[in-house]
Structure 1
Amino acid sequence: MAKRKQTGNDALANNRKARHEYSILDTYEAGISLTGTEIKSVRAARITIGDGFVSIKDGEAYLMNVNIAEFTQGNRFNHDPLRTRKLLLHQKEISKLQSAVSQKGMTIVPLKVYIKHGFAKVLIGVAQGKHSYDKRETLKKRDQQRDIDRALSRRR
């Protein structure tokens, strides 16, 4: 049986707002502890991570405020859509995250959810909030680069 080729965009959910609102300083890949109906909903891309964040309690990382829709064929044992989910990270990574978050203005946000080797993974980023003038500057640079690329493509 032939293996499927990996595409560049294999994400089931992206947090585009996070890259606009925050400066991402460091990223980590973490597994998510899910129940049976949750993984079925994730595979169907019925997950929203826009309002999510990561909290560290008692030496463990938890994914909070992430909505995984109820599985449509689920029965009375279906999951709660907004429940707190444990992230699977090494203890060294958790301690690094905890020390990073202890600084003022730092937070941990989920950036992307995807399936890797049959397991659900989340890409989390240590982020620092941007000011409104930083956001405007980023948009300005992006527009300028787009104009430069257009001008160069017309020359060819």
Structure 2
Amino acid sequence: MPKGKGNVVAQNRKASHDYIIVDTLEAGIVLQGTEIKSIRNSRINLKDGFIRIRNGEAFLSNVHISPYEQGNIFNHDPLRTRKLLLHKKQIHKWETEAKNAGMTIVPLRVYLKDGFAKVLIGLAKGKKDYDKRESLKRKDQERQIQRVLKNR
């Protein structure tokens, strides 16, 4: 199965607009209680999420997983920081790349693979405003070309 092509639950479309994605990596997420049920119901928002590396561990921050509606008093905190499951070598490699090149690590999509929630993370470089305008122009031109070809 290709990277990030399981049962996609949520996508971070803003990331492709704001960043140039240099590299991607699949990681597992450490979840509590009813969080997996909320993810299966697509009640997750990656829009403002980012990955922070501390003490040789990767953490997913600022990702909102809504409380499970049929849950009880043991529901989780929606914005809590969640640990990512990666190999030490991968964490060290990405940490050095992010620090040296001035890049950031962002979540791109969350999907279910063999019953487990996985997150596709990307090593990203921020776009300037003129880059964003250029990519919007290119996307608009491609859309117009597809429209013309479809009408033929």
Q: Shared fold (TM-score greater than 0.5)?
A: yes
TM-score by length of 1: 0.90
* Residue from 96, 100, 107 that aligns with 1:99: 96
Gaps of 5+ in 2: none
Stretch of structure 1 that moved more, 118-127 or 137-146 = 137-146
Shift of 1:9: 7.6
* Residue from 114, 117, 120 that aligns with 2:117: 120
* Residue from 34, 37, 43 that aligns with 1:37: 34
Is structure 2 residue 151 aligned with structure 1 residue 154?
A: yes
Is structure 2 residue 66 aligned with structure 1 residue 80?
A: no
Q: Which has the larger radius of gyration?
A: 1
Stretch of structure 1 that moved more, 97-106 or 86-95 = 97-106
Alignment partner of 2:74: what SS? coil
What is the count of residue pairs matched by the alignment? 148
Shift of 1:151: 2.5
Shift of 1:103: 2.5
Identity of aligned residues (%): 61
1:80-133 residue CA offsets vs partner (Å, 9 max, x unmatched): 111110000111110111011103531000000010000000000000000000
Structure 1 counterpart of 2:133, which letter?
R
Q: Measure, in 1, the Cα distance between the counterparts of 2:146 and 2:40.
A: 37
8 Å Cα contact 2:56-2:91 kept in structure 1: yes
Stretch of structure 1 that moved more, 13-22 or 65-74 = 65-74
Is structure 2 residue 136 aligned with structure 1 residue 142?
A: no
8 Å Cα contact 2:6-2:112 kept in structure 1: no
Match of 1:49 in 2: 46
Q: Measure, in 2, the Cα distance between the counterparts of 1:137 and 1:75.
A: 48
Gaps of 5+ in 1: 1-7
Q: Measure, in 1, the Cα distance between the counterparts of 2:116 and 2:7.
A: 13
Shift of 1:41: 0.8
Match of 2:128 in 1: 131
Q: Measure, in 2, the Cα distance between the counterparts of 1:45 and 1:16.
A: 15
Moved over 3 A (4+): none
